[in-house]
Amino acid sequence: MLRSVIAPRVAVRASPACLFARAYSSAAKEYDTVIIGGGPGGYVAAIKAAQLGQKTACIEKRDTLGGTCLNVGCIPSKAMLNNSHLYHEAKHNFAKRGIDVGEVKLNLAQLLADKDKAVTGLTRGIEMLFKKNKVDWIKGAGTLKSATEIEVALNDGGAQTVAAKNIIIATGSEPSPFPGFEIDEKQIITSTGALALEKVPEKMIVIGGGVIGLELGSVWSRLGAEVTVVEYLPAIGAGMDAELAKAFQRSLSKQGIKFKTSTKVVSSEKKDGKVVVSVEGAKNGKQESLTADVVLLSVGRRPYTEGLGLENAGVKVDAKGRIEMADEQFRTAVSSIRVIGDVTMGPMLAHKAEEEGIAAVEHITNGHGHVNYNVIPSVIYTHPEVAWVGKNEQQLKEEGIKYKVGSFPFAANSRAKTIDDAEGLVKIITDAETDRILGAHIIGPNAGEMIAEACLAMEYGGSAEDVARTCHAHPTMSEAFKEACMSAYSKPIHF
Active site residues: 474
Which residues lie closer than 8 Å to 202 by C-beta, 6 or more apart? Answer: 225, 226, 293
Determine the Cα–Cα distance for residues 175 and 191; give it in Å rounded to an integer. 8
Query: Would you say 221 and 227 are in contact if contact means Cβ atoms under 8 Å apart?
Result: yes
Determine the Cα–Cα distance for residues 128 and 33; give it in Å rounded to an integer. 20
Other CB atoms within a 10 A radius of the CB of residue 199 amount to 12
Q: Which of 290, 230, 287, 224 is nearest to 258 (CA)?
A: 230
CA–CA distances in Å: residue 197 to residues 200, 204, 294, 318: 7, 12, 9, 36
Q: Which of 217, 171, 176, 228 is nearest to 195 (CA)?
A: 217
CA 160 to chain centre: 31
Determine the Cα–Cα distance for residues 284 and 76; give it in Å rounded to an integer. 39
What are the DSSP calls for 406-465, one per residue? EEEEGGG-HHHHHTT----EEEEEEETTT-BEEEEEEEETTHHHHHHHHHHHHHTT-BHH
Q: Which of 356, 359, 372 is nearest to 40 (CA)?
A: 356
